[in-house]
Structure 1
Amino acid sequence: MTTQRVLMVGAGLSGAVIGRELATAGYKVLVMDSRPHIAGNCHTERDPKTNVMVHVYGPHIFHTDDEEVWDYVNRFQTFRAYKNRVKTTTRGGVYSLPVNLHTINQFFGKTLRPEEAFEFITQEQADLSIEDPQTFEEQALRFLGADLYEAFFKGYTVKQWGCHPSELPASILKRLPVRFNYDDNYFFHKYQGMPENGYTDMVAKILDHPNIEVQLSTTFTRAQCDGYQHVFFSGPIDGYFDYELGRLGYRTLDFEKFSCDGDYQGCAVMNYGEESVPYTRITEHKHFSPWESHVGSVCYREYSRAAGPKDIPYYPIRQVEEKALLADYVALAQKTNNVTFVGRLGTYRYLDMDVTIREALDTANAYIMAKKAGEITPAFLVLPL
C-alpha cells in the first residue's frame, strides 16, 4: 500500500499535534509555515541580553481541566507550576483581577465578609432593571454595577476591541469575572502551568518524528495541495480562498519591548483600565518563569488595534457582519475537497491552547478512523464554526 502524504499548513499547535498524530499512524506529513519559526503565536525564545524566556507574541499561560490534554503536553515538556495573578492600575490604585473580595473591599473602602460583599454587589451595585443583558455593557451593569464596570472594564474593553462595550455581545462577559473570596488565581482550571523550556521547545519535540518534514519561511498557495491526499489548513479561512468574498475582521497587537535592570512592576501582568492610558497592559516576562533568576528584565507594552492585510491576526471580531461573511466562507469550505480547516484562524474563533490541542487530537483521530472506514467526504472534517 502506498504511503499517504498529508500537507499541514501552519506549524503552530494545531499543525504540530495533527501532524504528530498522523505521522505516528504512518502518514508522511509535510508541515509548512510562512514564518521563520515553529509554534505560531505561542513562540518563545531567550532574550539575548537578559536570557529571559520571552513570549514573542504575548504571554501564553497553559490552563485546562482536560486531563488527556495535560498528559499530552507533559509528554513533550515538563510543565512547572504557575498561577496567573493579574493586577490592574485604575483611578490611582492597583487592584487584583478577577474582581474578588479584596478588590471589592479595597475599591469601596470596606471590610466586608463574603456574604456581606455578595449582598452589597447584588443589592446595592447591580442594575437589576436589566433583566436580559444583550450587550457587554448591560451584562457588566446587571451583575457588577456602574462603579466596578467603569473602573475595571469599560476603558480596557474600548482599547481592546476598538468600540464601545454597548456594541459588543454579552457573551464576551458570559462568565462573570467576580469572586466573593480572596482567591486571585485568574483561572479556575485544575491544571495550570508553564513549559519549563518554553513552548517552542515543546512544539519542536512534538514535530520530531521521522515521518514529519518541516518547511519554514514558505508561503502557501493552493497549487501546493497537488500530490497530497489531504490538507489541514490552520491559516485564515478567508486567506485560503484569496479573500475572494472579502476579509474577516481581526484585532491585532503591537508590542513595545523594553528592558530594565531589576524588577519593573513586581508581577507578570499589569492591566491599565483607563482609556486615557493608550496601552492595555504591560507584561514582564521573567515572572512567567518564576523558577528562574534574572538580573535584567524584559517587558512589553501592548497596544490593540484593527488588523490590516499585513498584520498578524490575533482576536476574531465575530460581530454580525463578520458572522455573515464567515457563513459564506464556511459554505465554500464545505464544497472544497480534501481540505480541513482547523485552529484559531481556520475556524475563526478565539481558542485557548488546551482547546486547540483537544480539537487537533480529535480531528486527527476522526481523519484516521474515517480513512480506515472509507467515509471521508469534503465536508466531513470542517469543524463547526
Structure 2
Amino acid sequence: MQKNILMMGAGLSCAVIGRTLAESGHSVTVIDSREHVGGNCFTERDERTGVMLHVYGPHIFHTDDKEVWDYVNKFAEFRPYKNQVKTTSGGEVYSLPINLHTINQLFKSSMRPQEAIEFISNKSDKSIVDPQSFEEQALRFVGPELYEAFLKGYTLKQWGRDPKDLPASILKRLPVRFNYDDNYFFHKFQGMPSNGYTEMIEGILNHPNISIKLGVRGDRALATQFDHTFYSGPLDGWFDYSIGRLAYRTLDFEKFYFDGDYQGCAVMNYGDADYPYTRTSEHKHFAPWEEHEASVLYNEKSRECQPDDIPYYPIRQQAERELLLQYVKIAKGERGITFVGRLGTYRYLDMDVTIREALDCAREWLLADECGGELPIFSVNPI
C-alpha cells in the first residue's frame, strides 16, 4: 500500500532513500530549510568566472563500493579525478599524504623505499605500546619530525584542541606511503561529476513520486502528517537541544578572486600552527577538463560551532559521547521516525558511505513495511 513519506533534508541521505522508496510506489515529500538541494555537497557556477564552486568545501568522490559507484554514475557523468594535496610547512611546499617524496624532502635525503621504512621505524617512539591520543599515535607511527611538520599544527587549527586530548582514531585514517604515490585516496573508483554534485542530486530526486519543498523547516507537527519520517538534521535538534548541544566544528570561508593560477593545485594545506588558515582551495582545479583564466579561491578556517552555524565535524570526545548516549536513549522511545546521515547519527561520513547506508536503510524499511515489521529508529548504531 502506498504510504506518504517525509524526508527532512535534501542532501544525499534523504535523496537516496527518497528515490528508492519512490521507485517502490510510495509518495515522498522532500523538504529542506535551505533554498537548494544537495546539503553540503551543493555546487554552483560562479557568475563572475564560470568556475564550478564547491560552496561548502571540497568534495571528492572515492569508493571501493561498486554498487555505489554505479549508482552515482546513473545520475551524473563522472570524470577521473586524482586528489593531489599539497601542504606548506616551515616555508616549503610538500606533497600529501606523507610519501617517499615528502620524507626525502623533509630529511634532505634520497632514500629508497626500504631505507625509508627502516629510517621512520627508528624515528618512531616504540615506548608507546598502546597509543591512546592523536599525539601518541603520531609519535608511534611517524616520529617527532613528521608529526611536528605536517600533523600537529594543522590538527590544532582543525580541531581547536591539543592533539594530546584527541583520540588516536583520528590519525588512523591518514596514510603514509613508502613510494612516490601522491594520490590522497587509495580507493578503486575516484572521480568528480562533470557538471557538479547539484545536478547529480537533482537527478536522484527527479521522480514523479517525489515532491520537493525548499526553504521549509520541518518539525514534529509536520511529521505527524506523514506515515513515516526520515530525519537527516542534527539529532539533538530534533529534541530541541533539551539536554544540551552536541559539539561540532564549523568552517568559515573567505572567498577571493585571482587572475590566473594562484597556487597550482586544488588544495593547499598549511601545517604551521601560527598560520591563520587550515587550507586554501582553488576550485577550477577540481574540474581539470575545463579551462578558466580567472580563478576563485576559498581560505578556510575551523572553529567551534555556535547555534546559528552549519555543523561540519562531530567532535565525539568523552563528554559528547556521554551526551550522545542520552539522546540515543531518548530517540529509541520515538515512533514513525528514522534518524539518518551524518547529523542524524552524529558521525563523520564520506559520501560513498552515506549513499551505502541510505540504500541499505531504504531496503530495510521496504522489507519491514512489506512484512509488517518496524524499522529501528537508527538503521546504523550511532554509538
TM-score by length of 2: 0.99
- Equivalent pair of 1:334/1:382 in contact (CA under 8 Å): no
1:36 Cα offset (Å): 0.5
- Equivalent pair of 1:135/1:169 in contact (CA under 8 Å): yes
Match status 1:116 vs 2:115: yes
1:176 Cα offset (Å): 4.5
Aligned-residue identity in percent: 65
Aligned to 2:310: 312
- Equivalent pair of 1:367/1:381 in contact (CA under 8 Å): no
- Equivalent pair of 2:97/2:174 in contact (CA under 8 Å): no
How far apart, in 1, do the equivalents of 2:379 and 2:14 lie?
15
Match status 1:235 vs 2:236: no
How far apart, in 2, do the equivalents of 1:30 and 1:375 lie?
23
Matched residue type, 1:15: C
How far apart, in 2, do the equivalents of 1:208 and 1:177 lie?
38
1:230 Cα offset (Å): 0.5
Query: In the superposition, relative to structure 1, how do residues 370 and 381 fare at CA in structure 2: closer, same or farther (>3 Å)?
Result: farther
Aligned to 1:95: 94
After the TM superposition, which of the residue ranges 173-182 and 260-269 deviates more from structure 2?
173-182
Structure 1 unaligned residues grouped into runs of 5+: none
Q: Across the two proteins, how many residue pairs are aligned to each other?
A: 382
Aligned to 1:27: 26
Matched residue type, 2:276: P
How far apart, in 1, do the equivalents of 2:60 and 2:380 lie?
25
Aligned to 2:70: 71
- Equivalent pair of 2:335/2:377 in contact (CA under 8 Å): no
- Equivalent pair of 1:238/1:329 in contact (CA under 8 Å): yes
Describe how 1:163-312 pairs up with structure 2 within 5 A.
163-312=161-310
How far apart, in 1, do the equivalents of 2:367 and 2:67 lie?
19
Aligned to 1:384: 381
How far apart, in 1, do the equivalents of 2:215 and 2:339 lie?
21
CA RMSD of aligned residues (A): 0.8
Describe how 1:146-157 pairs up with structure 2 within 5 A.
146-157=144-155
Aligned to 1:127: 125
Moved over 4 A (4+): none
1:381 Cα offset (Å): 4.3
Query: In the superposition, relative to structure 1, how do residues 381 and 27 fare at CA in structure 2: closer, same or farther (>3 Å)?
Result: farther
1:174 Cα offset (Å): 1.4
- Equivalent pair of 2:339/2:377 in contact (CA under 8 Å): no
- Equivalent pair of 1:43/1:56 in contact (CA under 8 Å): yes
Aligned to 1:138: 136
Matched residue type, 1:205: G
1:219 Cα offset (Å): 1.1
- Equivalent pair of 1:333/1:382 in contact (CA under 8 Å): no
Match status 1:44 vs 2:46: no
Describe how 1:343-354 pairs up with structure 2 within 5 A.
343-354=341-352
SS in 2 for 1:232: strand
The C-alpha deviation readout for 1:163-182, integer Å capped at 9, x for no partner, is 10000000001135211000
- Equivalent pair of 2:334/2:377 in contact (CA under 8 Å): no
Aligned to 2:159: 161
TM-score by length of 1: 0.98
Aligned to 2:5: 6
SS in 2 for 1:192: strand
Matched residue type, 1:134: Q
How far apart, in 2, do the equivalents of 1:92 and 1:177 lie?
23
1:143 Cα offset (Å): 1.1
SS in 2 for 1:102: helix
- Equivalent pair of 2:62/2:190 in contact (CA under 8 Å): yes
